[in-house]
Amino acid sequence: MPAEFVEALPILQKIRNAGYEAYFVGGSVRDVLLDREIHDVDIATSAYPAETKRIFEHTIDIGIEHGTVLVLENGGEYEVTTFRTEDVYVDYRRPSHVNFVRQLSEDLLRRDFTINAFALAENGDVIDLYHGLDDLENRILRAVGTPQDRFNEDALRIMRGLRFAAVLDFELASETFVAMKSHAHLLEKISIERIFIELDKLLTADFWQKGFRDLLAISAADYLPGFSDAQKLAQLLKLPEGFVFTNSVQAWGYLLHSLGYSDGKFLLKKWKVSKDFAGQVTHFLTAYQHRKAAAFSSEDLYHLGLSSLTLVEELLAAQGAETDFERICALSDALQIRERKEIVMTAGQIMTAFDIKPGPEIGELFHEIELAIVRNQLENSETAILNYVKDVRK
């Protein structure tokens, strides 16, 4: 067992000593079996929430209505969730009610895919009720039980499945693929924020091209904002096989470029991303379009940022185009300021020094000073700036 599980074993043992069942469950078990790094250790138990709280001295009710109690033990935090079944789903996303049960088999039946439906006992035995081990060995992603039911319950599982295919390099089982395609229209019922998270993970995965091909094949793009032009989307797949995006900004920026956007703010607003992320993507998109026409300048670096320019060069390198990382580094080294507030004099100080009244003149003058410093035509010093203003106001 990995260290994370070994550290959590006392939790399982304490629950078992109290007379209940307890297992490690979910994606962490899958990742252990695939020899991948694990992140979260989830524990499922036959103990009801109130019973779990009686076993441990320090707990927090983080989702007790769904059976989850956060256990604080030995310096760690562990989510312990009661075995449960789920009632009729509403909004194709959430169960209207959950029922606590004592049987592990009923709990595992509600999972999304067979490779996520494992339970790991404290002695290291893997409980596999849905042939997930076979699917792991054959690198197949298969829905638990009847796939139509799984996607009708929670349509976000469609995007999760595409993401798993991209992250794990798995093939979709034929019946799971068919069910995804027939239920893709239900994605319109899911919050765009949740879809963004899954699509973002897909695009930045090692095998994103596989996941993206599957996304197009099941026509999921038809139900995503601004993605209805499958032919333009397919341009994304013309990147060399095996290319991996450096980060989300590069991935979404090139995606918008493939869709023909010169300014992606309108579309990104539909995806309800943060203003900061939208700004970074827009800067990358602008930088990419500039670079296709000419080499980068000091002003490009100043206005768009070193990160945007570097991401563009990386993408050009992947496409076999000529790059100039050295030029970007040289521009960066020579840049005196990264933002306007680094100018050693403020507009107010200049107004006082030259008795300039508030109005358009000072705004235009300060902008000229800013550009002159960026272009290295003016030293960012008080003396140089004062002399510059004297000269231009003669």
Q: Tell me if 76 is assigned to a ligand binding site.
A: no
Angle in degrees, CA 83, 88, 93, rounded to 5: 85
Cα–Cα nearest to 5, from 52, 39, 46:
39
Does 93 carry a binding-site annotation?
no
- The span from the CA of 199 to the CA of 217, in Å, is 15
Tokens 């991935």 belong to which residue?
251
Q: Per the annotation, does 327 bind a ligand?
A: no
The conformation of residue 143, written as its DSSP 8-state character, comes to B
The answer to whether the beta carbons of residues 215 and 182 sit under 8 Å apart is: no
- The answer on whether 157 is annotated among ligand-binding residues is yes
Distances (CA, A) of 101 to 73, 83, 165: 25, 5, 31
19 a known binding residue?
no
Q: Are 353 and 338 in contact (CB under 8 A)?
A: no
Which single residue is written with the structure tokens 């939790």?
11
DSSP-derived secondary structure letter, 224: S
Find out whether 149 is annotated in a ligand binding site.
Answer: no
Residue 154 annotated as binding? yes
Q: Give the CB-side neighbour count of residue 255, counting CA atoms within 13 A.
A: 24
- Give the residue ranges of the annotated binding site for ATP: 27, 30, 111, 154, 157, 160, 163
- Give the residue ranges of the annotated binding site: 27, 30, 40, 42, 111, 154, 157, 160, 163
- Give the residue ranges of the annotated binding site for Mg(2+): 40, 42
- Give the residue ranges of the annotated binding site for CTP: 27, 30, 111, 154, 157, 160, 163
